[in-house]
Amino acid sequence: MTDSPLPIVRLRPKAEARAIRHGFPWVYADELVTDRRTSKLAPGALAVLEDAERRPLGLVTVNVQSKIIARMMDRDPGAVIDRPWLAARIARAAALRDRLYDAPFYRLIHAESDGLPGVVIDRFGDAAVIQPNAAWAETLIEEIAAALAEVTGVTRIIKNGTGRSRGLEGLAEETTILSGVIEAPIPVPMNGATYMADLLGGQKTGLFYDQRPNHAFAQRLAKAARVLDVFAHVGGFSLAALAGGAECALAVDSSATALALAERGAEAAGAGARFATRQGDAFAVMEALAAEGETFDLVVCDPPAFAPSKPALEAGLRAYERVARLAAPLVAPGGFLGLCSCSHAADLTQFRNASARGIGRGGRRGQLLHTGYAGPDHPMLPQLAESGYLKALFFRLDG
């Protein structure tokens, strides 16, 4: 039995303690004994996790309102979760990013993979956005922000409390400035392009850093090319393509606000004359472009997560197949098609098969040239498949 002032929570006899010992960071609700005492724990409370034989496994944070009822914080059951502990985790993550990148624009904390369960922090120079997607982080948000400022020196910190993950934790949506002033979108240099990140009103933290290496690969295919960027957000693939010497690029998105930021990014890079936008439903726009007889040397589709959970998997795979079916006819003979998925519920094989079916149904055949993933500022925890969610497939299509 553990000698600790903290409450103790215990795995059920049939729960897989071995997975926890080998690094799996979550305990699901049906794996934990939820007696009256456990049920009374406040969301985000700390507790010592024991196996069914009462052997300690580590220090966890508990939220009985969540399907993920416990998250591993520290393998040491006697650890103290305070500002120095938080600062140490952030410093370790920052040391890795500073080795990887020349400028402080990257994902600084990638949740469980960086030892801060449910927490995402993206850095934008002297500003940072924290997404506290777990109850414990919501409770300690001020301490997290203070540790972040101490380690990195950032002076402007935003809490982005939006998204599906917070709903699953029983947390309300809220976006607020914790320190400093944010008055305008922040220019972000990446792959030779300039992106405009709206830290307060944009999707997620304002920019998707995870696609950086896939932008770079697409950039290699874009020299002197006519490029179509579908589900473009703030111009992820199209602005990278222009920086790589594309003849022109068309960005398609349903958000006028996102496209306006993309236009500002193109102008900031001196490529405004080669850049155009088209607002509308991506599927409808692709159908319209086909009816207009348009083709492009490079088409990239980076849709939202169509399969964010297992119940949504089949419908999500059909949506990915439809994207490929509509995009394939828009690729000029010998051109290239990039298809992306950020759905962790759809594994690589399932996504690749759906994409191949869609290309075939679109009347094309193709070679798979490259499979891409998130960049190294989004490290994967090997025991947690969800941390390796992003897939990008690049095909060369025949005539």
Residue-level pLDDT, tens digit, the chain, 399 residues: 556 689 999 999 988 888 999 999 999 999 999 999 999 999 999 999 999 999 999 999 999 999 999 999 999 999 999 999 999 999 999 999 999 999 999 999 999 999 999 999 999 999 999 999 999 999 999 999 999 999 999 999 999 999 888 988 999 999 999 999 998 999 999 999 999 999 998 777 889 999 999 999 999 999 999 999 999 999 999 999 999 999 999 999 999 999 999 999 999 999 999 999 999 999 999 999 999 999 999 999 999 999 988 999 999 999 999 999 999 999 999 999 999 999 999 999 999 999 999 999 999 999 999 999 999 999 999 999 888 899 999 999 986
The span from the CA of 366 to the CA of 151, in Å, is 48
Report yes or no: 105 and 124 within 8 Å, Cβ to Cβ: yes
Helix crossing, 212-221 with 236-243: angle to 10°? 50
Closest alpha carbon to 246 in 273, 211, 268, 212: 273
Residue 214 CB burial class (10 angstroms; 0-12, 13-18, ≥19): buried
**CATH code of domain 83-179:** 3.30.750.80
Is 8-74 CATH 3.30.70.270? no
> Would you say the pTM of this structure is higher than 0.85?
yes
> What are the domain boundaries of the chain?
8-74, 83-179, 193-397
Closest alpha carbon to 82 in 93, 73, 94: 73
Is 193-397 CATH 2.60.120.10? no
Look at residue 204 in the predicted model and tell me its pLDDT.
Answer: 78
**Close Cβ partners of 26 (under 8 Å, ≥ 6 residues apart):** 68, 70, 71, 72, 112, 384
| Neighbouring C-beta atoms of residue 163, cutoff 10 Å | 15
Handedness of CA 241, 242, 248, 254 (dihedral sign): positive
Order of strands, sheet of 127-132, starting from the edge strand that comes earlier in the sequence: 105-110, 119-124, 127-132, 156-161, 174-179
Look at residue 205 in the predicted model and tell me its pLDDT.
Answer: 85
2 token code pair? 């553990």
Closest alpha carbon to 242 in 261, 265, 260, 259: 265
- What would you report as the CA-atom Rg of the chain, rounded to the nearest whole angstrom? 22
Look at residue 190 in the predicted model and tell me its pLDDT.
Answer: 97
Residues in the chain: 399
314 token code pair? 């089949």
